[in-house]
Structure 1
Amino acid sequence: MTGLTVATARYVELIGEADEYGAIDLVLDMIDAGVPAERVLLDMIAPAQRRVGELWAANDWSVAREHAATAISERAVAAVAGKVRVPPGRGRVTVACTDGEYHALPTRLLAEVLRLRGWQVDFLGASVPGPHLITHLHQRGPDAVALSCALPTRLPRAHATITACQAVGIPVLAGGRGFGEDGRFARLLGADGWAPTADAAADHLASGRLPHFPAPIDALAHLADEEYTQLARRRADLLTTVMGTLMGAFPPMATYSQQQLEATTEDLAHIADFLAAALYVDDTRLFTDFVGWTCQVLRARGVPAASVALGLRVFHDELAEFPRARRMLAAGAKAARTADDRADDGAGDTAVEGAGDRAGDRAGDRAGASAPADAYSETGH
């Protein structure tokens, strides 16, 4: 794999320079040199996209540069698909991102791997509304649906989609980081199977039998407390209240520009959305992992974790009647403090006011708590 590793490093350079022709030529040259198309997709383009996400998270690449690189990789995948065509000799698979999920490149990689293995593939792309997907299933009658969820904030919609597909007799193979790196949320939500990578998904489908794991009885019994439902219903009002409380408790926000205020609002919205997802699956780790990742991304932009902890405390105080949510927020605040303690620049010793000053200085340059598409790109779907 040495030659492919070298080629991957060169590919990252080319897409980072927005050299579309050079990147596509390199990909096609690898195929001409005898590297199987599937390996080019999964061992070259996919790891390059993971590297793009890492460079964005480290603040080495801007969002614009990351987007340009992703667009080129999409063209490169299309070039591979156009060059290597395998006549369909297996069944039919529908490949789609769940409603609200826009990280389509990993899903596209899966679709092309399945085509290379002889499947007839209906690739529906990003954010497919559940009712439209069901209509498609009635019209095409595939053997299975491969459903992608890259962000756990889409899990409630993914659950609805899984249930609807199964109701019309079509099994669902789940994939993507949103379902958990170990597939635990796919199991919880009753998917018919889960695969960590595109080639593993293709292997499962080729076996003719998905690795079924029915959801445990009363797996979602915790939803009876209605914390998820109430939080989702109150989301807009909650964000307005939290933003107002922060502005009153944190004087430096009075000098924020409109752009900085919008970035702060966006960050708070991500906290609310990840908290809601964690409530839906009753998994505190989902929320603390998000907090830890957010602290890492913000620290790379000069924003210490103390600013995140402050926002979590405000949410905690506002959700007085939400015991599960408050426990998760407390765990998130602990994760933020741990991130501060581990910071190489001594951010843990910085006063919140200083954190806010730097947050304001950097808000216009950062992407907030949301990852661009490639931060989640994997060889999986």
Structure 2
Amino acid sequence: MSAQTTTSPPSTADLAATRRQLWAALEARDEPAATAAVLGAHDAGVPAEDLLLDVIGSVQARVGAEWATGRIGVAQEHAATAIQDRVVAALAHRTADGTRPETGEAPRRVTVACVDGEWHALPARLLAEVLRGRGFLVDYLGAHVPTPHLIAHLHQTGTDVVALSSSLPVRLPTAHAAVTAVQAIGLPVLVGGAAFGPDGRYARLLGADGWAPDARAAARLLAAGPPRTHAARPAAGELPHLADQEYTLVTRARTQLVRQVLQGLEDAVPATASYTDRQRERTAEDIAHIVDFLGASLYADDAELFTGFVTWTAGILRSRGVPGDALVAALDLLADAQHDFPRARAHLAAGRRALLRVPAPPTPGPHS
């Protein structure tokens, strides 16, 4: 009788050590070291799924946070993400498919894709690899999949369920169109990503058949069987609050609003009048993001979506040394331009109130 060997689960310390090694490699833009850190942990017995989600996914969240606070630039963020993607590929090549889903049934085919305009593909890639590791047949389509191309792909394959990923709420209208189009050909749709809210509220609003907060939850849901398509669900253009046309009119006026607010800031916040061309460019980008999130909050009819974005933006601008009154002034200027749009004005007012509740940074003391 041969002795049985057991594999103990990885410790928190093991995962933390691998995260530190991977982060150091990304900082140095050292792809071989990044790959060695992850594959070495796999050789030591850490399951691939834990490496995908608790190491690579966790480190990617740190990459995003470092970019948001300005500690790394766009190029560094892109380089780190590209290395992470290749590390995922290296790990995937070492892990064999073939395990059946938790139900023990024949593998089901899942199409995993990012909605049109969504370029943050790593979360979807991680989900695809987790599903493959659990025995599903996966078609991974990657970032920015236009809805007509997604539908064409589904017509050509035997997909049982579609998993759509989106990280930014500004993609909610596009996600809504994709969900509706997929359901129209009789397939259920599972959605995930930060765009759909921490509790999945926007997934329910858009009529998705299921929502998962993370890849493990998505795998568990799919193991139970494809979700059933809803008999009655909102379709594109059927959200009652959209009848006021505010979302459409605000998004159509985006370029004009950005220009108008940028010009108004020079009078409202004198310091902006002396901005360099680069500073003006970044300010215009910030205003454009504000307009985009205002549009998303109007589409979802949820002022909290907008207030969450502006308070986050306040922290980012503070890290850049931008005076806090500039953001408040931008909201006031936008509100002046929305005098005929009561919902937009209400969302802007909620954002302004939220900004005023954000604590001011501590004043440096004489010995700071």
TM-score, normalised with respect to structure 1? 0.86
| Equivalent residue letter for 1:168 | I
**Residue in 2 that maps onto 1:14:** 25
1:136-191 CA-to-partner distances (Å, cap 9, x unmatched) read 11111310110011000000000000000000011100000000010000000000
**Residue in 2 that maps onto 1:161:** 178
* Pairing 1:90-109 to 2, within 5 Å after superposition: 90-109=107-126
Say whether residues 1:191 and 2:208 are aligned partners. Answer: yes
1:325-375 CA-to-partner distances (Å, cap 9, x unmatched) read 111101111222222x342348xxxxxxxxxxxxxxxxxxxxxxxxxxxxx
* Pairing 1:252-267 to 2, within 5 Å after superposition: 252-267=271-286
1:82-135 CA-to-partner distances (Å, cap 9, x unmatched) read 111203751111111111111101110001111111111111111111111111
- SS of match in other structure, 1:174: strand
Say whether residues 1:246 and 2:265 are aligned partners. Answer: yes
Which range is displaced more, 9-18 or 322-331? 9-18
RMSD: 2.0
Closer, same or farther in 2 for the Cα pair 1:206/1:108, shift >3 Å? same
Equivalent residue for 2:345, pick from 320, 323, 326:
326
- SS of match in other structure, 1:142: coil
- Which stretches of structure 1, 4 residues or more, deviate above 4 A after TM superposition? 211-219
**Residue in 1 that maps onto 2:48:** 37
Equivalent residue for 1:82, pick from 93, 108, 113:
93
| Equivalent residue letter for 2:352 | A
Say whether residues 1:3 and 2:14 are aligned partners. Answer: yes
Say whether residues 1:27 and 2:46 are aligned partners. Answer: no
Q: Which whole-Å CA distance do the structure 1 matches of 2:142 and 2:21 have between them? A: 28
Distance apart, 1:298 and its partner CA: 1.4
| Equivalent residue letter for 1:86 | D
- SS of match in other structure, 2:320: coil
Distance apart, 1:246 and its partner CA: 2.4
User: Is the Cα–Cα contact under 8 Å of residues 306 and 336 in structure 1 kept in the other structure?
Assistant: no
**Residue in 1 that maps onto 2:103:** none
**Residue in 1 that maps onto 2:316:** 297
Which range is displaced more, 8-17 or 154-163? 8-17
**Residue in 1 that maps onto 2:251:** 232
Q: Which whole-Å CA distance do the structure 2 matches of 1:328 and 1:98 have between them? A: 26
* Pairing 1:131-146 to 2, within 5 Å after superposition: 131-146=148-163
**Residue in 2 that maps onto 1:379:** none
TM-score, normalised with respect to structure 2? 0.89
Q: Which whole-Å CA distance do the structure 2 matches of 1:178 and 1:11 have between them? A: 27
Q: Which whole-Å CA distance do the structure 1 matches of 2:327 and 2:257 have between them? A: 17
Closer, same or farther in 2 for the Cα pair 1:150/1:345, shift >3 Å? farther
Q: Which whole-Å CA distance do the structure 2 matches of 1:344 and 1:250 have between them? A: 22
**Residue in 1 that maps onto 2:299:** 280
Q: Which whole-Å CA distance do the structure 2 matches of 1:238 and 1:311 have between them? A: 10
User: Is the Cα–Cα contact under 8 Å of residues 318 and 324 in structure 2 kept in the other structure?
Assistant: yes
User: Is the Cα–Cα contact under 8 Å of residues 295 and 304 in structure 1 kept in the other structure?
Assistant: no
| Equivalent residue letter for 1:77 | V
| Equivalent residue letter for 1:59 | G
**Residue in 2 that maps onto 1:178:** 195
* Pairing 1:348-359 to 2, within 5 Å after superposition: none
**Residue in 2 that maps onto 1:377:** none
1:216-261 CA-to-partner distances (Å, cap 9, x unmatched) read 8998211111111111222222222222222344443333222222
User: Is the Cα–Cα contact under 8 Å of residues 305 and 337 in structure 1 kept in the other structure?
Assistant: no
Distance apart, 1:305 and its partner CA: 2.5
**Residue in 2 that maps onto 1:344:** 362
User: Is the Cα–Cα contact under 8 Å of residues 203 and 211 in structure 2 kept in the other structure?
Assistant: yes
State the number of aligned residues.
345
Say whether residues 1:315 and 2:334 are aligned partners. Answer: yes
User: Is the Cα–Cα contact under 8 Å of residues 194 and 211 in structure 1 kept in the other structure?
Assistant: no
Q: Which whole-Å CA distance do the structure 2 matches of 1:33 and 1:142 have between them? A: 36
**Residue in 1 that maps onto 2:3:** none
**Residue in 1 that maps onto 2:134:** 117
Equivalent residue for 1:69, pick from 77, 80, 88:
80
Q: Which whole-Å CA distance do the structure 1 matches of 2:123 and 2:131 have between them? A: 13
State which structure, 1 or 2, has the greater radius of gyration over its C-alpha atoms. Answer: 2
**Residue in 2 that maps onto 1:200:** 217
Q: Which whole-Å CA distance do the structure 1 matches of 2:46 and 2:263 have between them? A: 57
Distance apart, 1:76 and its partner CA: 0.7
Q: Which whole-Å CA distance do the structure 2 matches of 1:211 and 1:185 have between them? A: 18
Q: Which whole-Å CA distance do the structure 2 matches of 1:187 and 1:4 have between them? A: 34
- SS of match in other structure, 1:271: helix
**Residue in 2 that maps onto 1:220:** 239
Q: Which runs of 5+ in 1 are unaligned?
A: 347-381
1:270-290 CA-to-partner distances (Å, cap 9, x unmatched) read 000000000001001000000
Percent identity for Structure 1 against Structure 2: 52
Closer, same or farther in 2 for the Cα pair 1:249/1:300, shift >3 Å? closer
